[in-house]
Amino acid sequence: MSTNTLHEYRTGWKRALIETKVSLTSIGDLMGFIMPTGIAIVVLLFMQNADFEGAPVSLGSMNMPSLIGMNVVFGGIMGMVGALAMDRTNGTLLRAKSMPGGMTGYLVGHLASTAMFIGASAVALLAVGLPLFDGLSFATPDRWMTFLAVLVMGVVATLPIGAVLGAILDNPRNMGLVMLPVMGLVAVSGIFYPITALPGWLQGVGQVFPMYWMGLGMRHALLPDSMAAVEIGGEWRTVTMFAVLAVWAVVSMALAPRLLRRMSRRESGSAVAARRADMQRDW
């Protein structure tokens, strides 16, 4: 790795720390982090006494790991999409483009900052869920390592996906074009109910995307092995889970830099001014 590249990555890491500190003092940014986590906790509380027929643990215990996986995917994708869309409108991306190595530092900074918030959200849900629900298995090193491995793989897979989608969208108003399909995937990914309860073709759709596999990986890390009986094939399919997430990570990481470079080449002062004017007309 060249000296220039190392400098760009160090700059990106410093940017991530600065962005994180700024976000922690911004009400809007904090609410964007707290609200999804808070909603997930409320959902867990409502499910505390719900049971799934024939399962050795409650429906809440089954859903808690799935919600962690869902939050990782949702936070990784929507966090990057939102950041890129807003930065194209307020001129931050244009300023980054004008500096040597600025785009690399910009991307690394956003990736690292978003990853820190995703990790904090996962830990918050874990801290609430473990004492709240019986039947969770998180007392051995192999469980901890599985949880961390799935969390890291999920972050690595979903953040570049968010960067790809953010590079395609050119206006914050269009974020719904990403959010609605992501929310639709929640319904077919076995997050709130075992995926085996869905028709076969919907099971196939759910298994194409990372959200199902993140939920499965988190259930593997936190639920008793007997719970694998309600999964497809009656097993956790650990190797397949990591393989699918790895494929998504490789493909999205290959596409993201190219799309971001193309996006940055199209950035100009007039384009930023046009977006701002468009936003002001909507307000």
Q: What's the average model confidence in pLDDT over 128-151?
A: 86
User: Token pair of 249, please?
Assistant: 């990570």
The pair of three-digit structure tokens given for residue 222, joined into one six-digit string = 């936190």
| Identity at 211, one-letter amino acid code | M
Q: What confidence tier does 54 reach under pLDDT thresholds 50, 70, 90?
A: low
Which stretch of 50-59, 98-107, 174-183, 260-269 has the lowest confidence by average pLDDT?
50-59
Q: Are 215 and 129 in contact (CB under 8 A)?
A: no
Domain that holds residue 237: 3-282
Our CA dihedral for 207, 178, 250, 245, rounded to 10 degrees, sits at -30
Q: Would you state the pLDDT for residue 272?
A: 62
Quote the number of domains for the chain: 1
Q: How far apart are CA 94 and CA 268, in angstroms?
A: 7
Whether 282 shows a pLDDT value over 60: the answer reads: no
Confidence label for 11 from pLDDT (cuts 50, 70 and 90): confident
Q: Which amino acid is at 45?
A: L
Question: What does the pLDDT average to over 9-26?
Answer: 78
Q: How does the average pLDDT of the chain come out, rounded?
A: 82
Q: Which of 191-200, 245-254, 272-281 has the lowest mean pLDDT?
A: 272-281
CA dihedral (154, 160, 163, 168) positive or negative: negative
pLDDT at residue 1 above 70? Answer: no
What are the Cα distances from residue 63, in Å, to 48, 70, 99, 156?
A: 10, 10, 46, 23
Beta-strand ranges (E) seen in 94-154 are: none
- For range 246-275, the mean pLDDT: 78
